[in-house]
Amino acid sequence: MTTAAAERLRFPGIHPTAFEHPLDRSALEALRKTPGLDKLFKKLASLHFERQVRLHFTADSLRLSPRQCPDIYRLLREAAAVLDMPEPELYLMQTPQPNAFAIGMDRFTIVLTSGLVDLMTEEELRTVIGHELGHIKSGHMLYRTIAIFLTLAGLVAARNLPFVNMLSQALLYAFYDWFRKSELTADRAGLLVAQDPQVAVRVLLKLAGGAQRTVGQLNLEEFLKQADDYEDMDESLLNILYKFEMTRFQTHPFPALRAREIHRWGQAEEYRDILRGNYARVETAAADRRCPRCAAIVENPLFKFCPECGGTL
């Protein structure tokens, strides 16, 4: 059943570890131990990549507000209130491909595409916004912005850039492995905003192959079975090699796998505990933890690097 806005639960003081996926945590720790990360931080900062991206969206997309597409902006406000966090900037980009992403290291921005807005219901769009807020809330943004830069540049073009020669294959693999697993944490944040596992699964189903003509014919159970079918193919060593080639530079897990993962979490006691108000909260000591380089507050006690500037904590 869809949760009305007035009845939507909020989670004051919720700590990102309350919904952090264990695979996200382990992959991030592996990424931080990979040589070459500090050089990549410095090079990206020198390119002013974030500033270029913000200029692009300011000039070429709609910045949403209470006076510009207020219905969509309201969903951002509601989702941010559920997760107890500040509202980032929100942009609407004209492109038919359904997509959404969060960017930024100093100032955070969420971008939605027109194709996504056309495809999703209001509840589904709220879930997507909650997903992107989950990345921001969880301190993913520094590493994700770097990974997005590598993706936008393209691997072929990136390999021709001098600074990429500094990067080992291990660093690239670690980046993309963590990027994929961070999506599982953000999916949980999206579910906390939606508060309806079927809505969260339906979002992924539509991203996999939804269209306006097929909305009334989509079957969630059949979609979830696809994840089992995919894993059954691991019996062949050749299929395992194919999967590695398919995914090693992929930023997102396959939608069916994500759908099954969030469906399972939606049935788990951990999720129900959060709905009942039993979850990890931001303690005063954690809230006062600041980066010595940029003075940003770093709420996640597991972080060894500042998610804002990359400085050692």
Residue 227 · residue 256 · CB < 8 Å: yes
| DSSP H helices in the chain | 22-32, 37-47, 49-60, 70-82, 114-119, 122-137, 141-153, 155-159, 169-194, 197-209, 220-232, 237-247, 255-266, 269-275, 284-287
Cα(137)–Cα(149) distance, integer angstroms: 20
Token pair of 303 as six digits: 């972080």
Three-class SS of residue 90?
A: strand
Instruction: Say whether 283 is catalytic.
Output: no
Catalytic residue from among 89, 132, 183, 261: 132
Distances (CA, A) of 230 to 126, 198, 207: 29, 21, 18
Token pair of 137 as six digits: 């809330």
Residue 165 has φ and ψ, to the nearest 5°, of -65, -20
Buried b (16+ CB within 10 A) or exposed e, 63-93: ebeeeebeebbebbebbbbbbebeebbbbbb
Burial of 132 (0-12, 13-18, 19+ CB in 10 A): buried
Token pair of 211 as six digits: 């269209």
**Which residues have a catalytic role annotated?**
132
